[in-house]
C-alpha cells in the first residue's frame, strides 16, 4: 500500500491556494487512513545518514556497555531500554526490540516541571550532538504539520504552537535484533497506536511496518526514500473526538532468509507540554458525533499509557 503523499513545500509556499490544497489533502488522509508520506520535510539527507550511522554504532556496543545508560525510574523516557522491556497495550508478550530515547532540552523561558536530563553516550563521538540536531529538525517539521492540521480543524493556524514549544517530545532510536531462534510470534512490535499528537518516522532500515485498514486487513506501508511517514497519535485522535484516525500498526518479522539481519527505526513522537488539555474540541462534537472521551491532560494521559505498556510502575 502506497500511503497518500503530500509536499510540505506547498504549505510553506506563501501561495494561499497551494497552502489550502495541502491542508485539505493532509486532513483527508488523516481522516481516512491516519498515515501520510511527506516530501520536502526539511530534515536533510546528511543528517538522516549520520543519525542512522551513530545509532547503529550504539546498538553494536556490548550489552554491558549499553546497560550503563539504562537509568532506573525514568520509565524509559531517557537513555537506553534493554530488550524485551516494553509491550503493546493489551499484550503481555514483550516487543522484540531495544531502544534509546532522547528528549526535550527546554529553552530558558520554560517555567514548568524540569524535564529529566538526556543521557550522554561517551563511546561514540557526535552521538549526542546528532540526536540533538535531529530532535530540533523533527520538531520544526512536526510543528509545521500541526499548523496545517489546526487549519483543517477550523482552528487558528498557531493553535498548537505554545503547546509543542518546549513540549515533551521524544526521539526514539529502535533496534530489532536478528532472530536467532524460532520466534513465538511473527511480530517484532505488536499492534498498537502511538500515544502522542503525531509521529514522524524517517526511513527504516528494512521493511516490516504494516497498518490495519478500515477493511480490517493488515497492509504493508511503503514510502519513497526521500519521504518521511507521519501518522496521527492517540492524543490527537482524542482531541478531535475521533475525527482524525490514530491507526493501529505493527512491525512484522522479515522472511526467514532475512532473520540474520537487524532492523533500525527512528520515530519522533511529538508530544505537547504536560498541562495541555485533551478535552474534545467543541467543533468536533455534534449530534452524530457525541463526545467520546473524558477530559484529561496530556501529562495524565502519558502516565496512564506508560503504565499500560510496562514502562512505568
**pLDDT tens digit sequence for 254-287:** 888 888 989 999 999 999 999 999 999 999 999 9
Q: Specify the pLDDT at position 146.
A: 98
Looking at every residue in the chain, the average pLDDT score rounds to 91
pLDDT bin (cut points 50, 70, 90) of residue 311 is confident
Lowest-confidence pick of 167-171, 225-229, 264-268: 225-229
Average pLDDT over residues 213-241: 89
Cell of 5: 503523499
pLDDT at residue 205 tops 60: no
Residue 220 has pLDDT above 60, yes or no: yes
Percent of the chain with pLDDT over 90: 69
How much is the pLDDT for 204? 66
CB contact at 8 A, 232 and 196: no
- Do 54 and 130 contact (CB within 8 A), yes or no? yes
Tell me the pLDDT tens digit for each residue of 39-95: 999 999 999 999 999 999 999 999 999 999 999 888 889 999 998 787 767 777 777
| Confidence class for position 206, pLDDT limits 50, 70, 90 | low
- In 10 A of CB 313, how many CB atoms? 7
Contact criterion met (CB below 8 Å) for 36 and 24: no
**Rounded Cα gap, residues 76 and 126, in angstroms:** 22
Distance, in Å, from the CA atom of 245 to the CA atom of 78, rounded to the nearest integer, reads 28
The CATH architecture assigned to 5-308 reads: Sandwich (2.60)
pLDDT at 107 over 90: no
The predicted-structure confidence for 111-155, as pLDDT tens digits, reads as follows 666 788 999 999 999 999 999 999 999 999 999 999 999 999 999
Q: Is the pLDDT of residue 198 over 90?
A: yes
- Across 34-186, the runs of DSSP E, i.e. the strands, are 35-39, 79-81, 98-103, 170-176
pTM of this prediction exceeds 0.75? yes
How wide is the angle at C-alpha 73 spanned by C-alphas 68 and 75, nearest 5°?
95
The residue-averaged pLDDT of 174-200 equals: 85
Domain boundaries, the chain: 5-308
Q: Does the pLDDT at position 243 exceed 60?
A: yes
CB 219 within 8 A of CB 213: yes
Q: Which helix (H) or strand (E) holds 24?
A: helix 16-32
User: Exposed/middle/buried for 82, CB within 10 Å: 0-12, 13-18, 19+?
Assistant: middle
Which pLDDT value is given to residue 52? Answer: 94
pLDDT at 115: 87
In whole angstroms, give the CA distance from residue 201 to residue 217: 22
**pLDDT computed for residue 223 by the predictor:** 64
The DSSP code for 174 is E
Q: What is the pLDDT of residues 27-42, one digit of tens each?
A: 999 999 999 999 999 9
CA-to-CA distance for 144 and 140, rounded, in angstroms? Answer: 6
Q: Is the pLDDT of residue 191 over 90?
A: no
Report the C-alpha dihedral over residues 172, 76, 147, 156, rounded to 10 degrees: 180
Amino acid at each position: 500500500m502506497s500511503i497518500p503523499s503530500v509536499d510540505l513545500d506547498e504549505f510553506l509556499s506563501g501561495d494561499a491556494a497551494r497552502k489550502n490544497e495541502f491542508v485539505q489533502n493532509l486532513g483527508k488522509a488523516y481522516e481516512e487512513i491516519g498515515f501520510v508520506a511527506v516530501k520536502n520535510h526539511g530534515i536533510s539527507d546528511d543528517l538522516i545518514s549520520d543519525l542512522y550511522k551513530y545509532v547503529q554504532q550504539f546498538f553494536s556496543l556490548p550489552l554491558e556497555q549499553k546497560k550503563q545508560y539504562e537509568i532506573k525510574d525514568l520509565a524509559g523516557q531517557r537513555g537506553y531500554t534493554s530488550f524485551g522491556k516494553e509491550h503493546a497495550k493489551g499484550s503481555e508478550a514483550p516487543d522484540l526490540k531495544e531502544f534509546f530515547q532522547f528528549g526535550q532540552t527546554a529553552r530558558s523561558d520554560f517555567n514548568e516541571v524540569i524535564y529529566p536530563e538526556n543521557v550522554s553516550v561517551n563511546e561514540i563521538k557526535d552521538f549526542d550532538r546528532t540526536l540533538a540536531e535531529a530532535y530540533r529538525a523533527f520538531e520544526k517539521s512536526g510543528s509545521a504539520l500541526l499548523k496545517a492540521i489546526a487549519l483543517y480543524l477550523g482552528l487558528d493556524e498557531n493553535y498548537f504552537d505554545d503547546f509543542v514549544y518546549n513540549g515533551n517530545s521524544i526521539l526514539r532510536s529502535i533496534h530489532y535484533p536478528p532472530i536467532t531462534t524460532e520466534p513465538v510470534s511473527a511480530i517484532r512490535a505488536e499492534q498498537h497506536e502511538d500515544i502522542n499528537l503525531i509521529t514522524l518516522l524517517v526511513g527504516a532500515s528494512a521493511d516490516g511496518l504494516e497498518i490495519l485498514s478500515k477493511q480490517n486487513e493488515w497492509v504493508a506501508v511503503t514510502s519513497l526514500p526521500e519521504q518521511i511517514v507521519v501518522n496521527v497519535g492517540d492524543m490527537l485522535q482524542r482531541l478531535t473526538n475521533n475525527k482524525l484516525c490514530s491507526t493501529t500498526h505493527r512491525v512484522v518479522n522479515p522472511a526467514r532468509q532475512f532473520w540474520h539481519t537487524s532492523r533500525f527505526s527512528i520515530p519522533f513522537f511529538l508530544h505537547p507540554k504536560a498541562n495541555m488539555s485533551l478535552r474534545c474540541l467543541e467543533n468536533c462534537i455534534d449530534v452524530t458525533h457525541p463526545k467520546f472521551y473524558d477530559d484529561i491532560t496530556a501529562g495524565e494521559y502519558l502516565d496512564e499509557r506508560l503504565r499500560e505498556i510496562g514502562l512505568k510502575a
